Every structure is written in structure tokens, then in C-alpha cells.
Structure 1
């Protein structure tokens, strides 16, 4: 099993907290498999290189021209090293050593799965409801712009979008998994194509999950968990909010518009 379960990992960084980066690196390399990580640094300077340079089984690629964005940078890393499985991971997550082996074990037993993700918690232990159905204009607008106190008026619809009606205690097929931790079967990923580079950031995870789900299962597996700090940058930055809106328009033009 260990010889077959060779894993490549892509990590895209942009001016991230070094302590959080150390935690994700430690989490990955505590996994008892042969692992190769490729880090693509979109930061304005290569200051973070000291965390990766000279570290065994980590290739550090600094982008000295401009910020590639999430999807394109991960594509560079995916193309950099070929393995049986590929993990796309965010720089603000951490997890125990059993997480990846358990997910790979499930993939080995279910050859129809192309993408799998675990249950995701905030560091305080609260669940992040990141399994989603196909988005609509209203759902994206409500989550981003309607104040929390008023969202209760639409709570049933918002809960449906986050698949809370099914519950987060059982394995389930999900059309939209979070990009903070996506474990792919590499041969299926090669088949359906990598991240859409027309999406700079946001909804690239929805796009790739949806494309994978048309041919293979995209699965939420709640029997192992990770922790995710989840900065919600588009809620704090006007620039990121506009990028989010542009990504949504592109996504809906590509896959279809739904008002509600």
C-alpha cells in the first residue's frame, strides 16, 4: 500500500503567515507515505523561500513576474511532479497524520471516486459547512451581502445550499467541494483537466468539482477531519470582492445561470 500511495502536493502561497505554513508542512510530512510537495510562491518578494529552500522533497518555485492566481499556480505545481494521487491544500490548514492515509484507503476501495475531501473544522472545533450544491445568483449574493441578522429570513435556502439537510455525519457525493483540501486521483484529474486558468481566484474549486462529478464521484468523507483558519478575504477586501464577482460571472457563463 505504501509504495502505491505516492502523493504529490501543491501549495500556493501569497504573503502567508510563516507559523501557519510550518503547521501545514508538518502536517503533510507526518503522513507515512512517499510525498513530493511543490510550492508556488505568488508573493511580491521571495521572503518565504527560507521556509522551503533546501528542504527534502519540496520544490520551491518563485513567480517573479506577477501573481498567477490560485488555479494557474496550482496547475504549475500539478504539472511539476506526477504521482498516483495529488493533494491541493491551502496554507492555512493543519491535520493529523491519519487523515491522508484514511482518505487514500477509501479511494483505493472505491475506484469510481475522482475527488475526496474530509470534514473541515475551525480551529475552535466548529464545523465549516463547505459542502455545497450548485450555486445561484441569489445564494452567492445573500451569503456575501445580506447582513447575518437578516439571513435568518432565508436560512432554509442557505442551509439547503450548504447541504445541511443531508447532514455532515455520513459519506456523500457533493457537487461543490472546498478548494482548501482536495485529494484527487491523478489519472482522473489528468482526464478532466486541471483548474480553469480563466478564474483567477474563487469558484475555481466549484468548477473543477463540477467537471469531475460529470465523470467520476466527488465525495465528502467525514470520518477524518482537518482544521482550517479560513480568512474569508473577499469579505474584508474590496479588490477581492470584485475578483469574486468576476469569477462568479465567468462560472455562470460557463456552466449556466440560476437565479435562485
Structure 2
């Protein structure tokens, strides 16, 4: 059975809110360690009497990626797969064991299962790499965003089938551990938002990404930056950082990866 290590980054989370995710992970036979990285306000995690749980008090609140990087550096070399997991995820433990067992036939470095809302509706978390217009319109020009999102959010895809996507959500990123180490984890320059786009992009280039709907997980997704002005500013800062890094208009890699995604995308039947 492949060996799995998972990490969850905490910040002012209550034990009761995180417990369902921890229970699902700890119920997996393949899990050898669950790393809880405390970015602040979660001292309860240090008191857990569970042999598979390892607590890390973060050296600072450096954000989502920085927190996970501490777990990646410490433990990714000890497992076949490394799962970057949000604290608001739920699934059946046996489903993850079966999912891992089926990955040997796939060569990608990053995998993402079907992710749904609590009501069972599919979440749109497999995407093309964004252009500035995609992100700007989604925040400030909803009518234009609705048009652009048909392509950007891959809404014409058949999500019952596996396919390559260059941008996969950070809420449940299942990596081959060796690939994640070669990628050196997240870019610490991103405090919050866009760090998953940056990492999945880099993985797509070197190892490949795969949306593989052989498992379904529930994500209690809040879209907090749409209602919180501070988080909106953080999202904008991260978007500027991302496009400064990879290119605003001229981005050959973005065009190449997006074209490759669309060329092989399974389409919904009319």
C-alpha cells in the first residue's frame, strides 16, 4: 500500500471544526503521518494524543504556502504521496485508500479528485491558467466574467472523465512526494491566494497534472474574499505578484498549457 503524509495549516481554527477532516485522514490505512501546522491560535493541536499526528508551531504566520512548506520540508521525503489539505474537507477514508491504490497507472505529479459542495454540486476548481482579464472580470465585471468563465472554468468539460488541467485547487492537492520536493513546494512570496495556481502550473510543466474523478470529496467553500475587503486586497496583491512573476500579456507557457488542456478536454455531450 502506498504511504501517504498529509498536512493541514491552521489559523484560529476550533478543534470541533477541523475534527471531521482529521478523522477522515486518520481513518486511512495508507496515512503514516498527519502534520498540523499552527500559524496561530490553535494550541489545542499540540495537546492531541494521536500517534500519527505531528504538531508544528509555525515560525511565523507566513500564510498558507509557507505553513505547508514547513511540513513538506520535514516529511515529504518519507512517503510516496503528500496531500495538501484544507481543514474544511470531508470524505470517506476508504475512498482515499482506493484512490491512492489506483494512481500507479498514471504518470502525473499532481492529482485532484472530484470536489463538491455539501449539496453534491460540482465545484469549479479545474481551470485554465488565468489571464488578468479573467481575474479582473470575476471581481468587478460579472457580465463579462460569465462569458469568459465558459472557457476559463472549463464549463464545457465532461467532469465524469479524467483530463489534464494546468490549474488545480489548493484545497486538496495530492502530489507524488518526490515531485513536490523537486518543485520545492509553494512559493513563499504568496501569503494567501494564487499560491496553488503557481504551484500547479509549475507541476504541470515538469510532471503533469490530472483531474481524476475516481473519488469525491466535500469542500465547505466560503469565497471569503468576495465579502471581506481585507481578503479582497490580499487576493489582488497575490494576483499582481503572480502576473509580475509569469507575465501579464506575454506568457508563452500559459498559452501552451491552456492550449494543451483544451485540445484533450473531454466534452459534455450535447
Is TM-score (shorter-chain normalized) higher than 0.5? yes
Please give the residue correspondences for 1:56-135 in structure 2 after superposition, counting only pairs within 5 Å: 56-63=51-58, 66-81=60-75, 82-110=78-106, 112-135=107-130
Q: Which of the pair is proportionally richer in helix?
A: 2
Match status 1:167 vs 2:166? no
Q: Which residue of structure 1 aligns with residue 170 of structure 2?
A: 179
Unaligned runs of 5+ in 1: none
> Residues 102 and 160 of structure 1: is their aligned pair in 2 closer, same or farther, counting only changes over 3 Å?
farther
- Give TM-score, length-normalised by structure 1: 0.89
- Give TM-score, length-normalised by structure 2: 0.86
Distance 2:230 2:145 in 1: 27
Tell me how far 1:69 sits from its aligned partner: 0.4
C-alpha distance after superposition, 1:212-258 (max 9, x if no partner)? 11121201011211000012121122111111111111111111214
Residues 41 and 62 in structure 1, CA contact (< 8 A), matched pair in contact too: yes
Unaligned runs of 5+ in 2: 251-270
SS at match of 1:72: helix
Q: Which residue of structure 2 aligns with residue 213 of structure 1?
A: 204
Tell me how far 1:175 sits from its aligned partner: 0.3
Tell me how far 1:154 sits from its aligned partner: 4.3
SS at match of 2:168: coil
> Residues 140 and 237 of structure 1: is their aligned pair in 2 closer, same or farther, counting only changes over 3 Å?
same
Residues 7 and 35 in structure 1, CA contact (< 8 A), matched pair in contact too: yes
CA RMSD of aligned residues (A): 1.9
Residues 46 and 62 in structure 1, CA contact (< 8 A), matched pair in contact too: no
Residues 4 and 33 in structure 2, CA contact (< 8 A), matched pair in contact too: yes
Distance 2:94 2:139 in 1: 35
Select the residue among 127, 138, 142 that pairs with 1:143: 138
